[in-house]
Amino acid sequence: MAEAVSPITRQVAKENQDIGTAPIKYRLEDVEDCLIYDRHGASVPFKKLYQDRKSVIIFVRNFLCYSCKEYVEDLSKIPEEALEDADIRLVVIGQSAHHHIEPFCSLTGYPYEIYVDPERCIYQKLGMKREEKFTDSAHPSPHVKSGIFMGQVKSIWRAMTSPAFDFQGDLHQQGGAIIAGPGSQVHFSHFDMNRLDHMPINWVLQLAGVQQTLDFSDKPKIVHV
């Protein structure tokens, strides 16, 4: 039986891994009308994602980022019934043009909702970081398997071999995760400090109400705790 994950109730900062309560310094009302785009280029206001039900919203750096690719590969392993039982939506948001969505989903196997914010309207208004910060106490993401050197080589190769040679987003922009809804209530937020600072997926799911712990080591396994 897997060890239960302790509840996390604050943004994880690499200088301070203690558990506590951190204030949320933004309002979703400030970004609710920002437009995001689906794989077909159709626009919807951001608030549509969380108005009617609780949503886990993951912001990635860019679609060429190797760590984001490997993180989303693990998101794709979340069983649909785990989300349905908790009555939550899982959404990924990138910052590329919409035509990069389909190839990214094919590459990662990601089956859930995904949109892009090509103008980085939401990223900027929420205050997500645009430069990386590393510290000696940093813990690597449990979802990133590639080392930095090989990961960057893979990202560059994908850029060179893609139909449209671009970096599919601002290379300096960092991502994050929020749990919001229904309505404009924010239950939790974490803004990444660097490419390896993703919130562990099991932590995010637990905070959103998922009553299962997933094993991402190989094949997805649900362990009841």
CATH number of the domain to which 91 belongs: 3.40.30.10
Closest by alpha carbon to 178, among 71, 118, 115, 90? 90
The verdict on residue 5 lying in a domain is no
- Interacting residues of 220 by C-beta distance below 8 A, sequence separation 6+: 77, 78, 79, 214
The pLDDT of residue 194:
76
The verdict on residue 155 lying in a domain is yes
Q: Taking the mean position of all CA atoms in its chain, how far away is CA 145?
A: 16
The verdict on residue 184 lying in a domain is yes
What range defines the domain where residue 181 resides?
A: 28-208
Q: What are phi and psi of 221, to 5 degrees?
A: -130, 135
Per-residue pLDDT of the chain (225 residues; tens, 9 = 90+): 344 433 333 334 444 444 334 456 788 999 999 999 999 999 999 999 999 999 999 999 888 887 888 999 999 999 999 999 999 999 999 998 898 899 999 989 999 999 999 999 999 999 998 766 766 545 567 777 755 646 555 555 565 566 555 556 777 788 899 999 999 999 999 998 876 778 899 999 999 999 888 887 755 445 555
CA distance linking residue 100 with residue 152, whole number of Å = 19
Closest by alpha carbon to 156, among 225, 66, 61, 40? 66
Q: Is 181 left (phi over 0), alpha (psi -120 to 50) or beta?
A: left
CA distance linking residue 64 with residue 195, whole number of Å = 12
Reported as type and span, the H/E element at residue 90 is: strand 88-94
The pLDDT of residue 161:
62
The verdict on residue 38 lying in a domain is yes
Provide the whole-model pTM.
Answer: 0.76
CA atoms 196, 85, 209, 53: torsion sign: positive
Helix-then-strand count for the chain, H and E: 6, 9
- Domain total in the chain: 1
